[in-house]
Amino acid sequence: MPRTITAGLDGSPESLTAADWAAREALLRDLPLHLVHALGRQLYAPLGGATQPSLSPGEQIRRADRMLRETEAVIARRHPGLQITTDSLTEEPVTALLGAAGTADLLVLGSRGLGGVTGFLVGSVAQAVVADSRRPVVLVRGGLRSEDERQPGGFGSGAAPFRDVVLGLNSTAPNDTVMGFAFEAASQRAARLRVVHGRSPELPYYDNGGDLNAELHDELTGEMHRALAEALEPWRHKFPGVEVTEQAVIGKAGSHLVEASRDASLVVVGRRRRRTPIGPVTHAVLHHATAPVAVVPHA
């Protein structure tokens, strides 16, 4: 199978926003864009929304084909020269999207934005795909514009540099698959990579008032920086053009990643490839980040 960036369509405005983001990502990676739609019983249920009345199989197929053609035309008009393919899949949405993800470099899905900085509405389909996919999945909130990925002050979305790529990393077990994805994303965007790494200390690190002892705080953050510096060293050599900054976090990292997302072009988090619920940090980022979120599965 040829390499692609794949976007899942469901007929919602959010999925069109995701397809447009996927088109920009395909151009950055010099890959074709593949648009897919599932012809299961949840045919026109937005990823975070409710089902619509049942349609006959023939009408479902005609509407799905029309939606794919119209979306392809919109994307082609916005991104001249981009190679685009489409496909209607007969399985239910989760099964179809997981299958599509398995043959793609990246699967892109839309999520409904709740307005302001309150976050995403991540539907059951998107959550199930993120939890089970063996390939990276990006969730893009509704209403995201190409200029939102860029630093302010440019003349047009193509003139200003990209905002930071933010990487959330566990400093006790940094993973090469997740770091490689983030470095590559930053390199493709000519963006800075901001690494937010955290650790939850054991009880002895706290004093009787429940605050982290200052001396132990410095000791712990020092250990975190040394461990991360060692893990990042080969990636800095592989991507010498990527500027890297670090932010050490004691305690829960989710809120810090959400805050960092407000001026980021992409947030990258890892997910252990196992049949367990999405972890608390990834869950917080998925539901509250304002930038697109890439969830990278790893062993």
Per residue in 269-294, pLDDT (tens digit) is 999 876 566 888 888 898 889 999 99
* Rounded-to-integer distance, Cα 71 and Cα 18, Å: 11
Question: Is a pLDDT exceeding 60 seen at residue 155?
Answer: no
- Burial degree of 242 (CB within 10 A; 0-12, 13-18, 19+): buried
Question: Is a pLDDT exceeding 50 seen at residue 61?
Answer: yes
pLDDT at 182: 98
Give, in degrees to the nearest 5, the angle at Cα 112 between 111 and 114: 135
Question: Is a pLDDT exceeding 60 seen at residue 151?
Answer: yes
Residue pair 164/264 in contact (Cβ under 8 Å)? The answer is yes
Residue 232 pLDDT level (bands cut at 50, 70, 90): very high
Question: Is a pLDDT exceeding 50 seen at residue 115?
Answer: no
Give the pair of three-digit tokens for residue 176. Answer: 């090469």
Nearest to 291 by CA among 177, 158, 146, 170: 146
Overall average pLDDT of the 292-299 stretch: 94
Question: Is a pLDDT exceeding 70 seen at residue 138?
Answer: yes
Give the pair of three-digit tokens for residue 86. Answer: 């489409």
Residue-wise pLDDT tens digits, 97-106: 999 999 899 9
Nearest to 8 by CA among 125, 165, 162: 125
Question: Is a pLDDT exceeding 90 seen at residue 10?
Answer: no
Question: Is a pLDDT exceeding 80 seen at residue 56?
Answer: no
How many CB atoms neighbour CB 241 within 10 A? 7
Q: How far is CA 227 from CA 70, 171, 200, 261, in A?
A: 50, 7, 15, 24
- What residues contact 230, with CB distance under 8 A and at least 6 apart? none
Of 157-166, 207-216, 241-250, the range with the highest mean pLDDT is 241-250
Residue found under tokens 């706290």:
206
* Rounded-to-integer distance, Cα 285 and Cα 200, Å: 17
CA 39 to chain centre: 25
* Rounded-to-integer distance, Cα 78 and Cα 91, Å: 30
Question: Is a pLDDT exceeding 80 seen at residue 260?
Answer: yes
Residues of the chain above pLDDT 90, percent: 53
pTM for this predicted structure: 0.87
For the chain, percent helix, then strand, then coil, each to nearest 5?
40, 25, 35
Q: How far is CA 252 from CA 35, 119, 283, 290, in A?
A: 37, 18, 12, 18
Query: 3-class DSSP state for residue 128?
Result: helix
Nearest to 266 by CA among 255, 256, 279, 257: 257
Indicate the range of 15-29, 153-167, 245-259 predicted with least confidence: 153-167
Give the pair of three-digit tokens for residue 93. Answer: 């949405």
* Rounded-to-integer distance, Cα 143 and Cα 148, Å: 10
* Rounded-to-integer distance, Cα 84 and Cα 69, Å: 11
pLDDT at 86: 96
Overall average pLDDT of the 102-122 stretch: 70
The string over 183-196, giving b where at least 16 C-beta atoms fall within 10 Å of a residue's C-beta and e elsewhere, is bbbbbbbebbbbbb
Residue pair 99/89 in contact (Cβ under 8 Å)? The answer is yes
Residue found under tokens 């299961």:
40
pLDDT at 200: 65
Higher pLDDT, 40 or 287: 287
Question: Is a pLDDT exceeding 60 seen at residue 244?
Answer: yes
CA 65 to chain centre: 27
Overall average pLDDT of the 152-164 stretch: 72
Question: Is a pLDDT exceeding 80 seen at residue 129?
Answer: yes
